[in-house]
């Protein structure tokens, strides 16, 4: 059996908005195997953000089951869920979301420090990761002194530094010009070639096309699951 | 994340918002500075009062006449015969005028008996006390208190010269250095015999002072003196209108109680301003939690537990409050130092005050930081990330 890092079984997620129940996901099955590069594509309101929250261990399903790296998220306490998230998921957010008043290296060290790793070891790993991504000379730059592309690379370094099972990228090119955006996609492809599992959430079909597998969502259901170069 | 790392984060944040942090601290700074300065004032004041009282001796009883004809020299002699009385002197006093050739002022004229100076030992600035020859019936010598001397512009050269008391000639033999005393420095001292010629009717006196051999005997002596005087005047136990007996030790205790109450009152007022300072910190921390909702969401997403977020915000509040406490302490001690110089009392930094205010500001940080920190920790990561 192949190594499944994500398994969604009949996953529903309902929200209470005012006094109305809104269904964001209406019974979704999805399996992602280790080493895959999957784009989850859909217009706004299709349920892709909810999907990201569930895969990212930020949320739990209303029914059905979510297994991340073999662990079910359904019944985990907030603390256990955080531990799972810290171990299994590396987030890359749309607006970079670097921490305020911190330098590049402090951003990359943060997830390690939250895991309880000592400052010295964290600094070493963070330096390595940033150097690998071509930011070796920007370690102590703070957010305001980094370009958009550089900030996104810091964010990617932060996602990778804990060696997570899944890199979860939410519209990672959304805030970048097309050239820098293309460079970030190239970087994700390269990470995939190195064997990492990449889940890319996007509404942009062109961006999605760079992934070998594309899962199309519409109205909270999987509409299409495509493989191969589109 | 380890506590030091979290503390570093909090410090980093405080440094990044310096002006706001300073303003947030201000309430605690003022509160603590007020506590320190006020405590020091009360301390200084009670030091001064106690020093003045102590010079009078704690084994002393003052028996004061309530009317001009309440107590007599015979009462005084009877009191002097009680057991354990080492010293007895009487005073007769009245308002009068003192004059040199150049000027004339009002003063309190005090006639004292011979043991007065050796019992009270007031500090002398010029010349000498009234000597035993002064107490010889015919001599008319006078010693001025410091203020009386100042009012008349007495100089060293005028010692031995004549001054007028109520128009009668007296020879000035000394000036006391009693400026720090209890309003006694406007007085002028003559012998009790001279006083009779100036204003007082024999055999009446205005007060009798007796001293016990030891401070432990004072309470017993007070009762004995009271019993004796009641017997002499046939007074029932319920009336005391003729005289009052004050015990120096109980006076010191009373002053202690008053200054303690005063200290408590002032500290209470200062504590209220510290409370207001704490509310200021809480207010800013709540604003800060709201402003940093996205940051909290990101931190949660990259692995921060609720406890990490709670500690981060709590430490921030504690650091703000404690830093305010330290700054307030320094400012308060500086103020206390200048007050001590002005008030002429001994300046000292009291360890208990330091520990108290630092402990108090720590407490303020914890108490007023907990709620905002809990608000921050309780945020759902997805809501926090979505927050615009």
Query: Does the distance separating the beta carbons of A162 and B12 come in below 8 Å?
Result: no
Q: What is the pLDDT of residues B37-53, one digit of tens each?
A: 888 888 887 777 777 77
Q: Minimal CA–CA distance to B67: which of B247, B245, B243? A: B243
Partners of residue A58 in chain B, C-beta under 8 Å: 300-301, 381-382, 385
d(CA B308, CA A131): 28
Asked whether residue B11 carries a pLDDT value surpassing 90, the answer given is no
Domain match, B80 and B224 both: yes
d(CA A80, CA A72): 11
Asked whether residue B286 carries a pLDDT value surpassing 90, the answer given is yes
Query: What does the pLDDT read at residue A1?
Result: 47
Is residue B248 included in any domain, yes or no?
no
Asked whether residue B182 carries a pLDDT value surpassing 70, the answer given is no
Domain match, B107 and B206 both: yes
Asked whether residue B64 carries a pLDDT value surpassing 60, the answer given is yes
The count of structural domains within chain B is 2
Q: Closest CB to A91: pick one of B2, B5, B302.
A: B302
Is residue B247 included in any domain, yes or no?
no
Q: What is the pLDDT of residues A101-145, one digit of tens each?
A: 889 999 999 999 999 998 899 999 999 999 999 999 999 998 889
**Structural domain for B309, as ranges:** 3-51+253-386
Query: What does the pLDDT read at residue A63?
Result: 93
Give the alpha-carbon dihedral of A137, B298, A176, A211, to 10 degrees.
100
First-residue to last-residue Cα distance in chain A:
27
Q: Closest CB to B16: pick one of A83, A101, A118.
A: A101
Partners of residue B300 in chain A, C-beta under 8 Å: 58, 82
C-beta separation of A80 from A74 below 8 A: no
pLDDT-derived band at B233 (thresholds 50, 70, 90) equals: confident
For residue B107, give every residue at least 6 positions away whose Cβ sits within 8 Å of its Cβ, in sequence order, or none: B95, B96, B97, B98, B145, B148, B151, B186, B187, B188
Q: Look at B237 and B294; give whichever has higher pLDDT.
A: B294
Q: Average pLDDT of chain B?
A: 86
pLDDT-derived band at A221 (thresholds 50, 70, 90) equals: very high
Domain match, B151 and B198 both: yes
Is residue B215 included in any domain, yes or no?
yes
pLDDT-derived band at A218 (thresholds 50, 70, 90) equals: very high
Domain match, B217 and B307 both: no
Query: What does the pLDDT read at residue B181?
Result: 52
Phi then psi for residue B210, to 5 deg, are -125, 150
Is residue B79 included in any domain, yes or no?
yes
From B210, B241, B272, give the residue that closes a domain. Answer: B241
Domain match, B315 and B186 both: no
Query: Which chain B residue has the Cα nearest residue A50?
Result: B382
Q: Look at B180 and A141; give whichever has higher pLDDT.
A: A141
Q: Look at B375 and B8; give whichever has higher pLDDT.
A: B375
User: Per the structure block, which two tokens stand in for A103?
Assistant: 């330098």
- Within B213-247, residue ranges assigned H as helices are 218-233
Asked whether residue B235 carries a pLDDT value surpassing 70, the answer given is yes
Query: What does the pLDDT read at residue B250?
Result: 77
Query: Does the distance separating the beta carbons of A93 and B302 come in below 8 Å?
Result: no
d(CA B380, CA B358): 35
Asked whether residue B140 carries a pLDDT value surpassing 70, the answer given is yes
Provide the number of CB pairs (under 8 Å) joining chain A to chain B. Answer: 63
pLDDT-derived band at B355 (thresholds 50, 70, 90) equals: very high
For B199-228, letters b (16+ CB in 10 Å) and e give bbeebbbbbbbbbbeeeebbeebbebbbee
Which ipTM score applies to this complex?
0.92
Q: Closest CB to B382: pick one of A53, A82, A110.
A: A53
C-beta separation of B237 from B230 below 8 A: yes
Adjacency order of strands within the sheet including A4-17: A20-33, A4-17, A63-68, A71-72
For residue B203, give every residue at least 6 positions away whose Cβ sits within 8 Å of its Cβ, in sequence order, or none: B72, B73, B74
Query: What does the pLDDT read at residue B217?
Result: 86
Domain match, B190 and B314 both: no
Asked whether residue B380 carries a pLDDT value surpassing 50, the answer given is yes
Q: Closest CB to B12: pick one of A93, A101, A158.
A: A101
CB neighbours (10 Å) of residue A110?
Answer: 25
Q: What is the pLDDT of residues B154-166, one digit of tens each?
A: 888 888 889 998 8
Across A162-180, average pLDDT = 88
Asked whether residue A230 carries a pLDDT value surpassing 80, the answer given is no
Q: Minimal CA–CA distance to B267: which of B33, B1, B14? A: B33
Phi then psi for residue B336, to 5 deg, are -60, -40
Across B259-272, average pLDDT = 83
Domain match, B112 and B211 both: yes
d(CA B198, CA B188): 13
Domain match, B319 and B278 both: yes
- Provide Rg for chain B, Cα atoms: 33
Query: What does the pLDDT read at residue B58?
Result: 72
Partners of residue A156 in chain B, C-beta under 8 Å: none
pLDDT-derived band at B152 (thresholds 50, 70, 90) equals: confident
Q: Look at A189 and B148; give whichever has higher pLDDT.
A: A189
Query: Which chain A residue has the Cα nearest residue B17?
Result: A101
Percent of chain B with pLDDT over 90: 28
Across B232-245, average pLDDT = 79
Domain match, B35 and B95 both: no
Q: Closest CB to A114: pick one of B12, B295, B303.
A: B303
Percent of chain A with pLDDT over 70: 98
Among A7-11, B28-32, B214-218, the minimum mean pLDDT is found in B214-218
- For every residue of B279-330, DSSP letters joined together read HHHHHHHHHHHHHTHHHHHHHHHTT--HHHHHHHHHHHHHHHHHHHHHHHHH
Is residue B59 included in any domain, yes or no?
no
C-beta separation of A33 from A5 below 8 A: yes
- For every residue of A172-209, DSSP letters joined together read TTTTS-HHHHHHHHHHHHHHHHTT-EEEEEES-HHHHT
∠ Cα A103 A104 A106 (to 5°): 65
Across B248-270, average pLDDT = 81
From B241, B270, B302, give the residue that closes a domain. Answer: B241
Asked whether residue B224 carries a pLDDT value surpassing 50, the answer given is yes
d(CA A93, CA A82): 18
Select the residue from B301, B379, B383, B388 to test the A interface by mutation, using most A Cβ atoms within 10 A. Answer: B301
Query: Which chain B residue has the Cα nearest residue A159?
Result: B302
C-beta separation of A26 from A11 below 8 A: no
CA B13 distance to own-chain centroid: 43
On whether the pTM is more than 0.80, the answer is no
Query: What does the pLDDT read at residue B203?
Result: 85
Query: Does the distance separating the beta carbons of B292 and A93 come in below 8 Å?
Result: no
C-beta separation of A66 from A81 below 8 A: no
User: Per the structure block, which two tokens stand in for A43?
Assistant: 């217009």
For B150-189, letters b (16+ CB in 10 Å) and e give ebbebeeebeeeebebeeeebebbbbbebeebeebbbbbb
Asked whether residue B236 carries a pLDDT value surpassing 50, the answer given is yes
Q: Look at B154 and B236; give whichever has higher pLDDT.
A: B154
d(CA B327, CA B329): 5
Is residue B353 included in any domain, yes or no?
yes
Query: Does the distance separating the beta carbons of B294 and A93 come in below 8 Å?
Result: no
- Greatest Cα pair distance, chain A, in angstroms, is 53
Domain match, B161 and B230 both: yes
Q: Average pLDDT of chain A?
A: 91
Instruction: Indicate the fold that domain A37-60+89-227 takes in CATH.
Output: Rossmann fold (3.40.50)
Domain match, B47 and B75 both: no
Asked whether residue A203 carries a pLDDT value surpassing 80, the answer given is yes
Is residue B278 included in any domain, yes or no?
yes
Query: What does the pLDDT read at residue B185?
Result: 64
């Amino acid at each position: 059996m192949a190594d499944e890092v994500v398994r969604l079984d009949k996953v529903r997620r309902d929200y209470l908005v005012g006094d109305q129940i809104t269904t964001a996901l209406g019974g979704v099955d999805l399996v992602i195997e280790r080493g895959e590069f999957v784009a989850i594509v859909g217009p706004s309101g299709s349920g892709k953000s909810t999907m990201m929250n569930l895969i990212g261990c930020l949320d739990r399903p209303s029914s059905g089951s979510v297994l991340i790296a073999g662990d079910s998220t359904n019944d985990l306490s907030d603390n256990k869920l955080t531990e799972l998230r810290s171990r299994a998921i590396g987030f890359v957010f749309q607006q970079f979301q670097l921490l305020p008043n911190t330098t590049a290296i402090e951003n990359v060290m943060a997830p390690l420090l939250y895991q309880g790793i000592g400052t010295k070891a964290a600094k070493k790993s963070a330096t390595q990761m940033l150097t690998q991504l071509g930011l070796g000379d920007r370690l102590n730059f703070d957010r305001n002194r980094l370009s958009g592309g550089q900030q996104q690379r810091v964010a990617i370094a932060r996602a990778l530094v804990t060696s997570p099972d899944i890199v979860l990228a939410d519209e990672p090119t959304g805030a970048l010009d097309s050239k820098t955006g293309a460079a970030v996609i190239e970087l994700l492809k390269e990470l995939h070639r190195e064997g990492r599992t990449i889940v890319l959430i996007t509404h942009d079909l062109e961006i999605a096309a760079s992934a070998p597998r594309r899962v199309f969502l519409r109205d909270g259901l999987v509409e299409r699951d495509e493989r191969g170069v589109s | 994340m380890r506590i030091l790392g979290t503390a570093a984060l909090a410090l980093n944040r405080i440094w990044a918002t310096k002006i706001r942090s300073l303003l947030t601290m201000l309430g605690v700074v003022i509160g603590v500075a007020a506590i320190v300065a006020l405590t020091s004032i009360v301390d200084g004041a009670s030091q001064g009062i106690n020093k003045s009282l102590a010079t009078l001796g704690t084994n002393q009883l003052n028996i004061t006449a309530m009317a001009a004809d309440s107590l007599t020299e015979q009462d005084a002699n009877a009191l002097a015969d009680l057991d354990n009385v080492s010293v007895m002197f009487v005073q007769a006093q009245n308002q009068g005028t003192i004059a040199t050739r150049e000027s004339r002022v009002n003063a309190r004229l005090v006639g004292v008996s011979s043991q007065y100076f050796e019992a009270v030992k007031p500090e002398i600035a010029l010349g000498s006390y009234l000597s035993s020859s002064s107490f010889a019936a015919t001599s008319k010598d006078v010693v001025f208190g410091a203020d009386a001397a100042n009012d008349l512009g007495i100089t060293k050269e005028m010692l031995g010269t004549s001054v007028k008391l109520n128009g009668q000639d007296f020879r000035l033999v000394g000036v006391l250095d009693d400026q720090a005393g209890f309003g006694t420095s406007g007085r002028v001292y003559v012998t009790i015999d001279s006083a009779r010629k100036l204003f007082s009717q024999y055999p009446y006196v205005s007060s009798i002072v007796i001293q016990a051999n030891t401070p432990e005997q004072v309470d017993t002596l007070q009762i004995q003196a009271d019993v004796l005087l009641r017997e002499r005047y046939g007074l029932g136990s319920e009336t005391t209108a003729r005289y009052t007996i004050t015990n120096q030790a109980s006076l010191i205790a009373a002053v202690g109680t008053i200054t303690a109450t005063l200290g408590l009152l002032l500290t209470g007022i200062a504590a209220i301003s510290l409370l207001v300072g704490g509310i200021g910190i809480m207010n800013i921390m709540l604003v800060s939690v709201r402003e940093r909702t996205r940051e909290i969401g990101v931190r949660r997403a990259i692995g921060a537990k609720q406890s990490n977020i709670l500690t981060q915000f709590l430490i921030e509040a504690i650091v703000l409050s404690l830093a305010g406490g330290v700054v307030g302490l320094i400012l308060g001690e500086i103020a206390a130092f200048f007050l001590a110089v002005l008030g002429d009392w001994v300046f000292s930094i009291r360890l208990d005050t330091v520990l108290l205010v630092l402990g108090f500001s720590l407490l303020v940080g914890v108490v007023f930081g907990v709620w905002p920190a809990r608000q921050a920790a309780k945020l759902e990561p997805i809501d926090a990330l979505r927050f615009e």
